[in-house]
Each structure stands twice: as C-alpha cells, then as structure tokens.
C-alpha cells in the first residue's frame, strides 16, 4: 500500500440494516424520495445520497441502535419536516427535550434536529446547522 493512500480521499458507503428489503425499498424510495441505484433483492438495496452510497443490507435479526444511524443536513428543517410529514413520516418525541410542534429540537449551539424511525425502527434524522 502506498504511503500516499488515505481513506479520507476515498468515497464512503453508509450501511443500514433491514429485516425486510422490499418494505425498506418502498420507504426509502417512495416515502423519503431517495434515488435507488440497484436492487439486489433479497440481499441489499443501493441508494445514491448525493454521491455517497447507502446500502440497505438484509439481516436476519435486528436490534435497532438507540441513536441516530443516518441523517441528512437540510437547508430549512421546518420545510423539510412538513414535506416528510406529508409522506407519512412521524417525528419522534423525547422526554426532557423541548421540541416544537413539528418535533424539532434546538440544541444549545442553535443547531436544529428532528428524529424519525424507518420501518425497521432505525433512527434517522434531519438537521439544520
């Protein structure tokens, strides 16, 4: 391996587990509006996230992580939340966190975040810096 090699200069792939690829494809493609690149059903689905590859990989068992596994930076979080709600996305509410009517939390730094779950209960988010 060349001493010039750096992973930071290589394209990354994000992985999200699913127990039901057909259901996940419907959700990620139709509900969230992601661009499906290839379907390797029943094993995996590949989406393009503005140049980053997202691979939804089938697993037999899934224990959803208690934290966000995939998120998007959006220019206007309130507008994005409204559009996603119209497609059926339900934003999560967390005790002790002051969230507005759309489910958006404003961090001490001023960043705004809203969380939602995919059909496998993986936590996804949208944020505005």
pLDDT (tens place) for every residue of the chain, 129 residues total: 457 889 888 899 999 999 999 999 999 999 999 999 999 877 899 999 999 999 999 999 999 999 999 999 999 999 999 999 999 999 999 999 999 999 999 999 999 999 999 999 999 999 999
* Amino acid 40: pLDDT: 83
Query: Under CATH, to which class is 11-60 assigned?
Result: alpha beta
* Amino acid 41: pLDDT: 79
Within the chain, all domains assigned CATH 3.10.180.10 are found at: 11-60, 67-129
* Amino acid 2: pLDDT: 56
Q: Which helix (H) or strand (E) holds 91?
A: none
For residue 21, which phi and psi values (nearest 5 degrees)?
Answer: -55, -35
In CATH terms, the fold of domain 67-129 is 2,3-Dihydroxybiphenyl 1,2-Dioxygenase; domain 1 (3.10.180)
Rounded distance, CA 111 to CA 128, Å? 6
Q: What is the pTM of this model?
A: 0.90
Torsion of CA 27, 32, 38, 41, to 10 degrees: -10
């Amino acid at each position: 391996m060349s001493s010039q090699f750096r992973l930071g200069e290589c394209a990354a792939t994000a992985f999200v587990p699913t127990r039901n690829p057909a259901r996940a494809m419907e959700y990620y493609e139709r509900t969230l509006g992601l661009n499906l690149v290839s379907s390797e059903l029943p094993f995996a689905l590949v989406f393009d996230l503005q140049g980053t590859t997202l691979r939804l990989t089938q697993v037999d068992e899934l224990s959803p992580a208690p934290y966000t596994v995939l998120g998007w930076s959006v220019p206007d979080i309130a507008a994005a939340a409204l559009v996603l709600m119209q497609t059926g996305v339900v934003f999560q509410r967390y005790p002790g966190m002051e969230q507005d009517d759309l489910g958006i939390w404003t961090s001490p730094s001023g960043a705004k975040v809203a969380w939602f779950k995919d059909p496998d209960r993986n936590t996804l988010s949208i944020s505005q810096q």
